[in-house]
Amino acid sequence: MKRRTFIKSASGLFLPLAFPAVSSAVQITNKVIHVTTCKVNTLRVPAVSHAGLNTNLVAYWRMEENNLQLRIDATGNGNDLSYDQAVAASGGGVCANCTGSAGGTLSLSASGSGSFFGNIQPGDSFTVQAWLNFVAIPASGYHGVVSSWDSSTIAYFVWFQNPNPGKLYYTVSNAAGVQQTDRLIVTSPATATWHHLIFGYDATNTQTFFQWNNGARSTFSCTGIYKSAGTSDFRLMAYGGDNGPPNMTVDEVGWWRRVLTTDEVTALYGGGSGLCWPFT
């Protein structure tokens, strides 16, 4: 076995003769260790742009107008929404302010020259986004959350049903006007919490779909979505013949004439904090 030779340092420590070279960042002298620090440059990560979400965005309502009977389409396409009464926006929205029914008779329907809701073709792909915050979950009665319908037939409903208190359903009619099976979205959603709802129709795969709080996408076969021969209304917090709107607020509602990918939905969900228009 090879013996190692040690020498006694001025400090009284015994060090091996072949002591390895010390990094230039550390200098050892008598009883003092000097450490040289280095400046670390901060890594700057550029902001991620989601401008692609503006592709085929037909209407987007930030729901922030105060004391007006209109909610303006931020895209400039003229698809403004009108109230049946003047209601002020309230604070605490997903991105800034929001609009609420507060248990009143608040409803919105399409208005303006840019209105497209009556022109949805049965085979058109589309996606709707809405952020929903429930003050209280209705214990009985029919309460519309988001809907498109004429005087006799629905195109689609998101609603609380009277026979099943507390359960939020998604219902569509196919291109022939035949109502499809009601699909349960969630039972008794948490109150005082913002929930992200996505739903729509995928013409390529002939199926309707929804997502709740960025969960797995639920899909169901459907041959088109009903289009009225006359005028269809797009409504928030209402539908015809219901028992009044849910006690809730709504924010950041968008309507795309295409299917959003699950990655795009994840971006819009933003970890529960939301990604709001103009998505940059």
- Total tally of structural domains belonging to the chain: 1
16 assigned to some structural domain: no
224 assigned to some structural domain: yes
243 assigned to some structural domain: yes
3-state secondary structure the chain: CCCCCEEECCCCCEEECCCCCCCCCEEEECCEEEECCCCCCCCCCCCCCCHHHHCCEEEEECCCCCCEEEECECCCCCCCEEEEEEECCECCCCCCCEEECCCCCCCEEECCCCCCHHHCCCCCCEEEEEEEEEEECCCCCCEEEEEEECCCCEEEEEEECCCCCCEEEEEEECCCCCECCCEEEEECCCCCCEEEEEEEEECCCCEEEEEECCCCCEEEECCCCCCCCCCCEEEECCCCCCCCCCEEEEEEEEEECCCCCHHHHHHHHHHHCCCCCCCC
CATH number, residue 95: 2.60.120.200
183 assigned to some structural domain: yes
Q: What residue numbers bound the domain in which 197 lies?
A: 55-272
Per-residue pLDDT of the chain (280 residues; tens, 9 = 90+): 555 554 555 555 555 555 444 444 445 455 554 545 555 565 554 556 798 999 999 999 999 988 777 888 999 888 888 877 667 788 889 988 998 875 555 566 655 545 555 556 788 999 999 999 999 999 888 899 998 888 788 899 999 988 898 999 999 999 999 999 999 999 999 999 999 999 999 999 999 999 999 999 999 999 999 987 777 778 888 776 677 778 889 999 999 999 999 999 999 999 999 999 999 7
- The whole model's pTM is what? 0.80
